[in-house]
Amino acid sequence: MSRRRNIVAGNWKMNKDYEEGRSLARDIVAKLQPSDTLVILGAPYIHLKGVSHIISDINNLHLSAQNCHQEEGGAYTGEITAEMLSSVGCEYVILGHSERREYFGEDDTLIAAKIKRAQAAGLTPIFCCGEKLPSREAGEQEAVVGQQVKEALFGFSAEEVSKMVIAYEPVWAIGTGVTASPAQAQEMHAYIRGLLREQFGEEVADGMSILYGGSVKPANAEELFSQADVDGGLVGGASLKAEDFLAIIASM
Ligand code: PEP
C-alpha cells in the first residue's frame, strides 16, 4: 500500500516549445529546495525525454505525461502508448483531465481502460475528476464526482487503487482565476476519501494522495494545502512560470 504523500504536480498542457520546456525544467531544478514534497512535471509528449535528462538526478522530481492511449500498441495513428511513456523515464500520467473529457469525448469507461494500461506499463495514474458549474450551482457536485470516481475506479482492486493519485478539479475553477474556497475543496476531498474508505477500506483511503486543481496560485496555495484532506495540487497556468511553481511548492 502506498504512503500518503504531499504532491505538487504541474500540468503544462499544450504550451511551450521544446527549448522553452527544457529551460523551464532547468529553472525548476536550479531552485528547487529539498523537501518531502513530491514534485511532478506534466510535460507535452515531445518534451518528456529531454526533460527527463534534466531532472534525473533530483530525488523528489518526477515526470508525467498528460494522456496515453488505452491499447498496448497497433494501428492508432498519432497516438502514444503507456509503455512508450515509461521507456523515456516518465513515471506518472494525468488521465481524465476535464479538457480530455470535454474536447476529446473521454468518459469514465475509457478513462478506466487508460488507467489499467498505464498501471500495466508501471505508470502511476493521476486520475482527475470534477463537476461543471451548473452541477455546483444545483448542489449536485458530490453526485457528479461520486459517479466519476465510482465508474472510473471501483472496478479496480484495493491494491491497484492504492497506487493511484486522485486530483479533484472543479471545472469552473480550471484556468478561470476562480478558485474553490479551502472549505469547498476540503468538503469534496473528504467526500472522495469517504467513498474510497467505503469501497477499499481505511488503509487505502488514508494512504491516498488527493490533490486539488483549479487556479492554484502562490497566493492561495498555502490555505488550500493546509486543509486536512488536501494533499497538494495539480497546477496548470501557474506551473508555466518557475517562480510561481516554486512558490506553490514552498507553500506545501
Ligand atoms: C489544470 O489544468 O489541471 C489546472 C488546474 O489549470 P489551472 O491551474 O490553470 O486552473
Question: Quick check: 6 and 252 in contact, CB under 8 A?
Answer: yes
The Cα 234–Cα 203 span in angstroms is: 24
Instruction: Write the CB contacts of 104 (distance below 8 Å, at least 6 apart in sequence).
Output: none
- Return the C-alpha cell found at 175: 484556468
pTM, 2 dp: 0.97
**Catalytic site residue from 62, 69, 97, 189:** 97
Confidence label for 230 from pLDDT (cuts 50, 70 and 90): very high
How confident is the model at residue 116, as a pLDDT?
98
Q: Which residue has the cell 483531465?
A: 97
Residue 201 Cα to ligand 1 middle (Å): 30
The Cα 142–Cα 164 span in angstroms is: 20
Structural domains in the chain, sorted by start: 7-251 (3.20.20.70)
How confident is the model at residue 3, as a pLDDT?
81
The Cα 50–Cα 211 span in angstroms is: 26
Q: Comparing 209 with 2, which gets the higher pLDDT?
A: 209
Closest CA to ligand 1's atom 7: 236
The Cα 177–Cα 236 span in angstroms is: 11
In tens, the pLDDT along 132-166 reads: 999 999 999 999 999 999 999 999 999 999 999 99
Which residues are near ligand 1 (CB < 6 Å)?
11, 169, 174-175, 213-216, 234-238
- Return the C-alpha cell found at 193: 476519501
Instruction: Write the CB contacts of 180 (distance below 8 Å, at least 6 apart in sequence).
Output: 170, 173, 188, 212, 214, 224
Residue 187 annotated as catalytic:
no
